[in-house]
Amino acid sequence: MFDFVFWVLVIWFIINVIWMWFVLNKQSYQKSFAWINVAAVIIGFWVYYGTGAHSGGLADCFLWINWLNVVLACLQFYFGYRKLNSTN
């Protein structure tokens, strides 16, 4: 389960980062991705700390991807809930 969730989180992170930068001014997308990312972070930390079996070098990478998802979610909440200037 640890390896599977790790690879799902990596794929989600890559897709999320790429898609996020293409829709920076679409707040509804940013909000949706941010909340999905919150769920991914909760699942990621739950799996990391909930399972006792951490396979080799993936444990450090797993923790890093979780914290990168936290930072990404914060950015997405910022872009999703900021007030856009309508004169631009």
pLDDT tens, residue by residue, 46-74: 988 888 767 678 888 888 999 999 999 99
CA distance 31 to 76: 7
Residue-level pLDDT at 55:
66
Give the pLDDT confidence score for residue 34 in this predicted structure.
92
CA atoms within 13 A on the CB side of 61: 13
Please check the confidence at residue 11 and state whether its pLDDT lies above 80: yes
Domain ranges of the chain: 29-83
pLDDT tens track for 15-36: 999 988 888 888 888 899 999 9
**pLDDT over 80 at 86, yes or no:** no
Q: Give the DSSP letter of residue 24.
A: T
